[in-house]
A and B are shown apart, each in its own frame.
Chain A
Amino acid sequence: MSKAPILQVQSITKAFGGIMALNNVSFDVFEGEILGIIGPNGSGKTTIVNCITGFIKKTSGHVLFRGKDISKKPAHKIADMGITRTFQIMRPYYSLPAYKNLVIPLFSPRARRTGGWRGGGRLGDRNTVGIDILEEIGFERDSYVPYKAAATLPTGYLKRLELARCLALKPDVIIGDEIFSGLSMSEIASMVPLIERLQMDGITIIMIEHRLRELFRVANRVMVLNFGEKLMEGRPAEVMADKRVKEAYFGSQEVEEVMTHA
């Protein structure tokens, strides 16, 4: 983990009418780390993803990427710079087969510049590169799964497809909005090594999660949001031990478990 912050979020505030979804939230993300963001429902996690990636306009505040202000840039420019995201509500291109879903991001200017995944297809066929990426992300190449229409894929594969869409751009940063939710324990167990491998490839990862136990195993640092405000940030062990976090999650079965078993 190197020391330079790749992303600097500086006092972002977002108000939806009267609702303060985010109130003066600041944090740094360091190159190559996995930062977890947790918080109860409605605490502003998705909103912060939308603010960083330019999908909604911030009321105030700045986001710096490698020291450059990207606050005013439109979403497609930010993605083009290498900050990609997944969506909490997955909407793949349902009518297309899984690998054709990747032809679309591979058509983007960034994918053309960077030459696809791992130098694969600057001039190559996008279909082949798409299948390569799917294999990287855990689709069995020789099975029929990559060729099935996205509409017929189970949740586990759709989550992987969301990640694959990010990988097609050879991103510097991936922001995953609840990649683990809706997955079974064993599915998550098979996703964890994948995330760790992406980190080893030098990708900085921000993970928004509700599944605290699994998140704490992979995250280097964790930030806690509550009612749109930053409650604390620190190493997983520190966060687990913090009383305020327990209070914020009061009543949540899982947290009780994580806290006591840790």
Chain B
Amino acid sequence: MIKDQRRKERIDRGIKVRSDGIYAMMSWRELTYLVIPRLVLIIGMLILPLVLPGMYWQRVITITCIYALLAISFDFLAHFVGLVCLGGAFFVGTGGYLTAILNTSLGLPPLLTIPLATLLGASLCTLLLLPCLPLRGVFFAIVSLMYPLFAMRVIEALDILGGTDGIIGIDSFANRWVEQYMVIGITLLFLFGVRRLVNMDIGLVFRGVKDNDQAIRASGMNITIFKAIAVFIAAAMGCMSGACLVHIYMWSGISQFALDFSILPIAATVIGGGGTLVGPLIGCLILVPISELLRDFGTLRIVFYSLILVGFIVFRSEGVMVYGQRKYHQFERWTRI
């Protein structure tokens, strides 16, 4: 066929069609087709701590998961609710400081501080973001970016919560296995939980808020309430990652409000493929180790994330997972136009 008379046609593989819905129960082949990708991901994540050499790389895995939680939360808000939230660092910092207070002042163990900080932090973040929820698109993005910067300056200026020194003397996890498997478990739980959520009825409403909020209002639903619920869920993930981070480093400080926590998850989402929820995790698995290798460059690493982001956007890349899912589910062939 001549080059400009053809176009690429994408067709779902037979097995993809056969394994949609309950028909997947028909045979082992269809079941395997569905289960394999999930299994690879879960088992892969679970054996990572066992195969990685040395403490250093095992720590990198924990940090990767913490960023992955943030990235999934960003992807959820951006692609399923239509809120581009650049305030990931605000969630981390809030969850982190709350954990620090709960642990040092009240003496609660990590098993209690993490869930408590998650719930309290998510409520606090949702309350504080409530006035901005009617804002749309880029306005919400800009305002949400201000929150962590604001919190950082307030702590610095008023010298509260330990000021620039932060809060020290926080309990660590019992041992590094608890630490790693706890964080990996939480990440997988939230990943599959959020995937389930967006396909539930309330998830469809979230997507409706993104696609057509006028129709949601015309259906007698308050958009702000649904946005608030979504922000609560996303903030809970962010606060939980902050809570884990504080127990890992046994320290909580203003660097938890740093731009890294807002920007790296976005870069990871773009690389991994937005709207897939797994993509952000894959993106973190690629980005965080590279970022750790570049640790010597300090804050200059933001430049590196930005370059990757710009590259992906300029070349209109669809992201690793979107590409992967397409290849897995569909085949392509050239057809004459």
Contacts and interface: CB of A to CB of B under 8 A. Distances in A.
Instruction: Please indicate whether A and B come from the same complex rather than being unrelated chains.
Output: yes
28 contacts: A55-B218, A76-B217, A76-B223, A79-B217, A79-B219, A79-B220, A85-B218, A87-B215, A91-B211, A91-B214, A91-B215, A93-B204, A93-B207, A93-B211, A95-B207, A103-B201, A103-B204, A104-B204, A104-B205, A104-B208, A104-B215, A104-B219, A106-B201, A107-B205, A109-B220, A110-B220, A111-B219, A126-B201
Interface in A44-97: 53, 55, 74-77, 79-80, 84-85, 87, 91-96
Nearest to A109: B220
A3 B216 CA distance: 33
A204 B163 CA distance: 64
A76 B201 contact: no
Interface of B: 201-202, 204-205, 207-208, 211-212, 214-223
Residue in A79, A95, A169 with the greatest tally of chain B CB atoms within 10 Å: A79
A230 B134 CA distance: 35
B212 A75 contact: no
Nearest to A94: B211
A168 interface: yes
A87 B215 CA distance: 8
A165 B218 contact: yes
Nearest to B209: A104
Interface residues of A, number: 31
Contacts, number: 77
Chain B contact surface mostly? helix
Contacts of A92: 212, 215
A92 B214 CA distance: 10
A93 B220 contact: no
Contacts of B201: 103, 106-107, 126
Contact of A96 (B207, B214, B216): B207
B221 A108 contact: yes
A76 B225 CA distance: 11
Contacts of B215: 87, 91-93, 104, 165
Given A96-B207, A103-B204, A108 B212 contact: no
Contacts of B205: 104, 107
Given A91-B212, A91-B214, A95-B211, A108 B204 contact: no
A62 to B, nearest CB: 21
A94 B222 CA distance: 21
A154 B135 CA distance: 33
Contacts of A53: 218
A160 interface: no
A82 to B, nearest CB: 9
A186 to B, nearest CB: 28
Given A107-B201, A107-B202, A93 B218 contact: no
A75 B204 contact: no
B220 to A, nearest CB: 4
Interface of A: 53, 55, 74-77, 79-80, 84-85, 87, 91-96, 100, 103-111, 126, 165, 168-169
B293 to A, nearest CB: 39
Contact of B214 (A87, A100, A105, A126): A87
Contacts of B208: 93, 104
Contacts of A165: 215, 218-219
A79 B208 CA distance: 16
Contacts of B218: 53, 55, 75, 79, 84-85, 87, 165
Contact of B216 (A55, A104, A126, A169): A104
A182 B27 CA distance: 47
B166 to A, nearest CB: 44
A95 to B, nearest CB: 7
A103 B220 CA distance: 13
A212 to B, nearest CB: 26
Contacts of B217: 55, 74-76, 79
Contacts of B214: 55, 87, 91
The 5 lowest CB-CB distance pairs between A and B, nearest first, are A79-B220, A105-B219, A80-B220, A75-B217, A108-B220
Contacts of B220: 76-77, 79-80, 84, 105, 108-111, 169
Given A87-B214, A91-B212, A91-B214, A96 B219 contact: no
B202 A93 contact: no
Contacts of B207: 93, 95-96
B262 to A, nearest CB: 28
Given A80-B220, A104-B216, A108-B220, 20 more contacts: A53-B218, A74-B217, A76-B222, A79-B217, A79-B220, A84-B218, A84-B220, A85-B218, A87-B218, A91-B211, A92-B212, A93-B211, A93-B212, A96-B207, A103-B204, A104-B215, A107-B205, A109-B220, A110-B220, A169-B220
